[in-house]
A and B are shown apart, each in its own frame.
Chain A
Amino acid sequence: MTSNKKYWKSVEELDENNSIVETLKQNEFVEPIPTDDFLGDKETLEASSTTRRDFLKYVGFSTAAASLAACEGPVIKSIPYVVAPDEIVPGVANYYATTMADGFDFANVLVKTREGRPIKIERNDLAKNGGSVNARVHASVLSMYDKNRVQNPMVGGKEVTWSEFDTAVAQKMSEMAGKDVVLLTQTFASPSTSKLIKEFTAQYPNVRHVIYDAVSSSEALDAFQNKYGTRALADYDFSKADVIVSVGADFIGDWQGGGYEAGYAKGRIPKNGKMSKHYQFEANMSLAGANADVRVPATPTQQMQILKALTGGSASGLPENVAAAVSKAKAHLQKAGGKGVIVTGLPDVQAQTMVLNYNEGKQVMDSAMPRMTSMGNTQEVMKVMNGVVSGSIKGMITVGVDPVYAFPNKDFAEAYKKLGMSLAFSMKPDATASAAQMVAATPHYLESWGDVQLKKGSFSIMQPTIKPLFNTRQFQECMLKWTGRSETSYYDYLRQFMEGSVLGGTSWNQAVHDGVFTSAAIVDTDADTTNSESLDLESSTSNGALSSATQRGGMELTLYTKTGLGSGNQANNPWLQELPDPISRASWDNYVTVSKADADAMGLENYNVANGGLNGSYVNVKMNGVTVENVPVLIQPGQAKGSIGLALGYGQTHGIQEEMQTGVNAYPLYSNFKAVQTGVTLEKVSGIHEFACVQLHNTMMGRDIIRETSLEIFNTKDVHDWNPVPEVSKDHQEIPVTSPDADLWEGFDRSIGHHFNLSIDLNACTGCGACVIACHAENNVPVVGKAEVRKSRDMHWLRIDRYYSSEGSFASDNEKKENISGLGSSLSEYGEMESAAANPQVAFQPVMCQHCNHAPCETVCPVAATSHGRQGQNHMAYNRCVGTRYCANNCPYKVRRFNWFLYAENDEFDYHMNNDLGRMVLNPDVVVRSRGVMEKCSMCIQMTQKTILDAKRDGRPIKDGEFKTACSAACETGAIAFGDINAKKSEIHELKENKRMYHLLEAVGTKPNVFYQAKVRNTNEA
């Protein structure tokens, strides 16, 4: 029975005479629905000839038409070769050995080509002194497919033919006869080019050759030249070192050409209870500092003192903790004897000389076979810069350098435009090329011939891997033409030159095949072609800002290069722009790094907003009348108080796509071409900068994501003390989570066939990022742009997490966490643990899909798009995925990436996948994913499948070390190893049995196929 009870919502309803209640009863909506807003103007709506019937007809017709059209497939044309080249089999990759030498990065590489297109750079295992194949070298293949390249030679801004260009140049050269013309080039390290330049300057005596390195090592070169007579850089083999003391040298980064990480990492893996000890005194938090056992923040001025103290002087005047570290390091160095080494990055001849003197005779330093990859002479470059500004220099030919962008003199750009002759050899319409009267379009190194002497006696050959994409001509080819040898091609010249004296016992074909050879031949170096006056050590020392007794006050600035952009040669490369900085984890930006204390004092702040994005204040950086405006600030844990850091290579505006015009140009601050500047002031300005920073949490808050121990504990204690397997309670007994009793699942039998595992050694990983770019190239990982990265929508299949400790070390973090008691204490102390310490320890951890044997993602997929293979890989069938994203939510490692948008052929994401040229870099064996599907690391299943198929075709078992992934193949330090653990004798099987082995979040019970080797630091304290 229904009751007659009356229900009411408000007291007003009880009053029957209330008019408002009555109105409300009649009208469901109190306010009129704003239909007009969305139906537009009423009149036009009524005037419209389209009736509702018509509308429905149109809808019906177009739906029918669309669905009918969808049933018809497109006609696809296939066009075979008319005459197929013998070496090309469609679908099979060819590899060519060549050498990259762009003046900043020098490396021996292997280029993978498919159907004649270079698609990936790999390491050349034959090269023993090959330089480092770092992230930039891996990404260089994409720089070739840059649509913003100079495509034709240009005179006066108009595209011309090469013969017209030659005439124009010849005319100009005759006009300039007798006038001072400077040939400003990058370091080629190419003996044949040196010879050609000599021949050129002999024909045109008014031309003089000056070498200019955008990022200079001039002081180190001066010091070496004074001591050993040749202009070169000492080479170091850190694998032989017991104690490494670095004073401001980021030798894992780009210090003196870089490429030292492989040797360094060898000594960092504990063997027989021993590993090298690494002290780092530095201002910025660098890669070397992040890997150091003991890192002491010190401003550059302090560094000079530290260096003096280490090499025999006194440590007086240094802060107490620094002095203590110095005396420890000194004692340690003495104990190591011939195996102790000091390196420094201070741009000061005196400092460099001290280091050379100290290292003299040590096993670690090689002065007999020095590096030839940097030749620039600051004094000479300064003269050129001032000469152009003053007008004494009338003409300038630039090759591979961009002085208009990178010269610190702000009057240079204007003066350059007034030059009688300006000719730029350039691949891209950069600042210099766009201001030059004549632009010679040069090919990329993958389209060129060449020779490079990386180290004295170690030669490399550069060979083209593709026909030039544009109407370009090599600098060397032009030299030949302009010295009246137009019938000789550079190839013939090079081959003749090589076969004449350089090759020694190696045949030309062998040298081209291998890409490298050693020879005792003495050849011209870049330095031989520049007739610089003998060095005046005294004057160059007194120029050093560091040695000057009087301080200019203000902050001390250390300019550095990022692993992504380096000197800025490849700024138009979206892979490099999106590569997060290994330390700050910010991409698409450069910024001033300041210490927390300084930031607080100046009211600068960094904070995270709701979507996880990082925001920061802006400052103006002022120095000696130079102001760089609106530089974002990033508070960097570990930055020495009173110092700041800023990366070079950003802020380019010419010849670069709008999306890639990121950051600020720091070169105006590169006064005297010295990386260290004093007397810099920061001035807070209004505005908030939005960073694209991919890591929100900076610390692990005491969890054992990264396992770390000290060498002492590693040597003395039982493995259960420092690398325990997590335990769970079953029937009131603690059992390890790895035991089958602790498992909900029936395990598959994986003992038959291949079972792939990936090992990552946290001791060897330096965080360089080469694996990330290699993964992009291999797996067609899209670039999403700054705005998307900020929303944490980066598509990186492989990320390198960086963790700081909130206390001084990770161990003390743990201790603090263990000692938390009660809610109040936990709230406050966890809160404290979120922010990193002033001088934290740093650890890097590459994380990709862990390919769990008991994968949480697989069980939640409603369409079974992700499933497990017998070989241990967690498969992802993109065409099956409907994009529910359940898997990503259920993944404890957060390695799954969702395609929020279509990243290929979409104008909103105008990166390489949006133009025909850029798409040539895509790997045809891996699908380009579409919008709305989940993707993730496949453990390079296309590579393992290929290895298996190759073996099957040859009818042979797989050899050890044959299985590779893109990341393991790219890893210089051997931190990433890959293989089949069912092959009992394999390296990976050994690594799995290693006592440092642990799985990430083992307690979850996912049984991953990726495992890590716990980090061991060479420290005595716990």
Chain B
Amino acid sequence: MQKVKFRNLPSIVSLLLLAVLLTFSNNISAQEGEANDATVTAEADAETPAAEGVGDAEVGKTLFNANCAACHKLYKKATGPALFEVSKKYDREWLYSWIKNSQALIAAGDQQAIAIFEEYNKSVMTPFPGLSNTDIDNILAYTDTPKPEPIIAEGGPVQEGGGSGVSNNIILGALALVFLLLVVMLILVNKTLKKIAEANGVVYEEKEKRAPLWRVFVENQFLVLVTAIFLLLSAGYFMYGYFMQVGVDQGYAPVQPIHYSHRIHAGDNEIDCKYCHSSARKSKTSGIPSLNVCMNCHKNISEVSDDTYAMGMDEYGVDYNAEIQKLYKAVGWDQSTQQYTGKTEPVKWVRIHNLPDFAYFNHSQHVTVAGIDCQKCHGPVEEMEIMEQFSPLTMGWCINCHRETNVNVAGNEYYKEIHEQLSKKYGVDQLTAAQMGGLECGKCHY
């Protein structure tokens, strides 16, 4: 298990690193800017042919995302077929009637319709009688948009970014060399001047021979005493710090079998924590979501957007698309046939929050009853690319919170009587968890 050797250490180190980081920060932001520029241009390029179509591709895109994207992709088979250049494959009138009500078409015995229906495992396409022919034209215009070629656009800035990094280093190296030369020159000049002075007969004031510093130090008993005490105290302090972090895994961020980014899911996409960790609402465990929960969305999301992909490659060195493929492999999803193969390989996640056996903790008590945000204990998960243990999870940490947090009694019939009586007894308006008995040993240890 990865350990933090000293709990205070990260803060110290981070201060030091800050300075170093600052020197590079310019560099990074410059890179991002360039990347953004690149995509914008790519999009702009993509828009041009759309204007030539029958419909408005811009409007079509909105419509497509609202109505079609759940089952269709432009360049890839999903639940339904890939729709790129679908307008060229089929007759437009036929497309109108298919989109508005495909089942009617099949019922009418249209051979083409039946063939498609059979090919896609007889999954019924939702009828869209609400779409006008113009709407459909717009959508078709959008589907005719050729795939932008992001590789070149993407590759450019990366190389440039890399290049500027190298040039910076060269500049720094050159500067260091210059400084070194200056120092050497100064010494040489000094030497020469001295020689000249000697030759000219300038006599220096002879410095009085003083005892070496260490001897002075050793002879000054008071100083020795103070230093010894200081050293002992600081040694004690660090020893204490070291021992207190034994078994505390704050900051523990193990490498997981699938690189799952909470930043993307909870942060960028704003998925509620309890959508995946649903048992946190009613059980003691928050539960690692089963893979079928992932597939609720990832059945359709087999690739991340190009921006996200680039970011993953640049900043974290992770190929997000490959990670999604890992999920498919684990859950046994065959992308080409859009079907489950039945061959599964359960994912062996590395457990991050390891509460000892003898401590009982119930998520539902805190999440549902108390209404505490997940972030209170788990930290800014929505910013974490790699999940880590945010809180120390020590007993002192639990107790502190119980002392400070008021019990959420609003609208809870259970608390009505006890809260009334207890708050009267303690003479307070709001009871803390501790006053409610939240510090008793047996509440968590049995």
Chain A positions near chain B (C-beta within 8 angstroms): 70-84, 89-92, 749, 751-753, 865, 867, 869-871, 873, 875-880, 925-928, 938, 941-942, 945, 948-949, 951-958
Contacts and interface: CB of A to CB of B under 8 A. Distances in A.
A5 to B, nearest CB: 51
Contacts of B254: 75
Contact of A875 (B289, B291, B441): B441
A753 B437 contact: yes
B349 A79 contact: yes
A870 B422 CA distance: 12
14 contacts: A77-B348, A77-B349, A77-B350, A81-B292, A92-B279, A749-B425, A753-B437, A869-B443, A876-B445, A876-B446, A877-B442, A949-B364, A953-B368, A957-B416
A24 to B, nearest CB: 51
Contacts of B418: 752-753
B287 A955 contact: no
A792 to B, nearest CB: 25
Contacts of A753: 418, 421-422, 437
B396 interface: no
Interface stretch (B8-16, B128-136, B264-272, B353-361): B353-361
Q: Which of A877, A938, A954 has the most CB of B within 10 A?
A: A877
Interface in B279-304: 279, 282-285, 287-293
Contacts of B29: none
A92 B425 contact: no
B249 interface: yes
B405 interface: no
Contacts of B442: 867, 869, 873, 875-877, 938, 941
Nearest to B364: A953
Contacts of B356: 879
Q: Which 7 residue pairs across A and B have the least CB separation, nearest first?
A: A875-B442, A91-B283, A84-B290, A81-B290, A80-B288, A879-B358, A76-B351
Interface string B403-442: 0000000011111111001100100000000000100111
Given A74-B1, A82-B331, A955 B414 contact: yes
Given A875-B445, A952-B365, A91 B279 contact: yes
B247 interface: yes
Contacts of B332: 82
B425 A84 contact: no
A561 B291 CA distance: 52
A80 B414 contact: no
A926 B358 CA distance: 8
B46 to A, nearest CB: 38
Main secondary structure of the interface of A (DSSP, over half): loop
Contact of B414 (A89, A877, A926, A952): A952
B70 interface: no
Contacts of A879: 356, 358-359, 445
Contacts of B368: 953
Given A870-B440, A938-B442, A72 B287 contact: no
A871 B411 contact: no
B282 A80 contact: no
B172 to A, nearest CB: 39
Contacts of A83: 290-292, 331, 344
Contacts of A949: 362, 364-365, 369
A77 B351 contact: yes
B7 to A, nearest CB: 14
A952 B416 CA distance: 11
Nearest to B425: A752
B347 interface: yes
A990 B359 CA distance: 36
A80 B412 contact: no
A953 B369 contact: yes
A316 B358 CA distance: 68
Contacts of A75: 1, 254, 350
A77 B348 CA distance: 6
Contacts of A880: 441, 445
Contacts of A953: 282, 364, 368-369
A90 B285 contact: yes
Contacts of B446: 875-876, 926-927, 938, 941-942
A90 B279 contact: yes
A60 B287 CA distance: 44
Contacts of B386: none
B69 interface: no
B263 interface: no
A956 B413 contact: yes
A532 B279 CA distance: 58
A80 B293 CA distance: 11
Interface in B356-389: 356-360, 362, 364-365, 368-369
